Chains A and B, each alone.
Chain A
């Protein structure tokens, strides 16, 4: 029974089977190439300081967003999965804040107690 009815249910299954035009993938591929070229240019042109860090982060987030949303099809998943997967990494940001404070304390004590040269 299931062998023959499987075909009848094929349109209903299209929701879980990700079907999108090839053109979409090619456009995203092109955008990733351009964004990578931009982030390489940041280094090649020797942009420094705050401008460098801002540009690196912007290009990185745009590339990551395109890969997750289109290539990994997250844009077409239901919100339950999107939240379950994309919210937990926010904990890494809290960890980052903790480690920034910790690293500042370490360098402070190193400079205060071992500063022979700098």
Chain B
């Protein structure tokens, strides 16, 4: 019964479709399950959290008369006798984008019910995520040993330290939670919970491969936030 209502070819498209969906006196999101819609709404709220962090950074940087430290030099690494600007951050960016690629493919193999490949790709995603966090820990250690504190740093405006630790710290926390989340879902996939519709221990709802896609939404969002942090904090 429910499936026949889901047949989207009978639904109006465009703005008329938006009006019809929202005024249907049923669920508004016809193609997204409640789980997916809830993840999207959570991600929307997280967008505002990171949006406010980046805005606070913008305000601090625009309103200080003291010069802002040059990220290109601050995040340079000494490799092979010369300073390569921003190289660690570039590698971290590529690692996170690769993890998004493996995650997208894990979702795809999940819907094909190839649970071995799905679990393997999710583990690869978790491994790349852990690599990212490791590199971030290295970056923090390096900056702290060079004298960067939330209240001061050797190169310029003291707000640099507080915005850096706040923004990258919050993002790193998201990546860490994502890695844990990935390992939990990967285990369920590997065990075949979603093939057997085994009930979850907490919600006692039947497992299905859509959980992999919802997990993927969170992971891609973490990558998405990094795109903005990379552009505004490291490159600007």
Chain A interface (Cβ within 8 Å of chain B)?
Answer: 9, 12-13, 15-20, 22, 25-26, 28-29, 32-33, 36, 39-40, 42-44, 46, 52-53, 56-57, 59-60, 63-64, 67-68, 70-73, 76-81, 83-85, 88-89, 92, 95-96, 99-100, 102-104, 106-107, 110-111, 114-115, 118
Contact = CB atoms under 8 A, between A and B. Distances in A.
Contacts, number: 178
Contacts of B28: 80, 84
Interface size class of B (residues with CB under 8 A): 35 or more
B58 A78 contact: no
B177 interface: no
Interface string B44-64: 100110011001001100111
A79 B17 contact: yes
B44 A71 contact: no
B220 A67 contact: yes
Contact of A89 (B15, B51, B236): B51
B213 A64 contact: no
A79 B72 contact: no
A81 B231 CA distance: 27
A60 B31 contact: no
A81 B22 CA distance: 10
Contacts of B97: 29, 32-33, 36
A18 B33 CA distance: 12
Contacts of B52: 95
Interface string B176-202: 000000000000000000000000000
Given A83-B18, A99-B55, A103-B62, 7 more contacts: A16-B33, A17-B111, A29-B104, A32-B101, A59-B231, A67-B220, A78-B8
B62 A95 contact: no
Nearest to A11: B3
B82 to A, nearest CB: 13
Contacts of B72: 43, 46
Interface string B99-125: 011011101100110000000000000
B143 interface: no
B147 to A, nearest CB: 22
Contacts of B224: 64, 67-68, 72
A99 B6 contact: no
A70 B97 CA distance: 13
A81 B29 CA distance: 6
Interface string B203-236: 0000001100100110011011001101100111
Contact of B8 (A9, A15, A22): A15
23 contacts: A16-B210, A20-B108, A36-B90, A39-B230, A43-B234, A43-B235, A44-B85, A56-B236, A57-B231, A71-B220, A78-B30, A78-B31, A78-B32, A80-B17, A80-B30, A83-B18, A84-B29, A89-B44, A89-B51, A95-B55, A100-B62, A106-B59, A110-B65
A17 B111 CA distance: 7
Contacts of B234: 43
Q: Which 5 A-B pairs have the closest CB atoms?
A: A103-B62, A29-B101, A106-B63, A80-B21, A60-B231
A28 to B, nearest CB: 8
A85 to B, nearest CB: 5
A59 B228 CA distance: 10
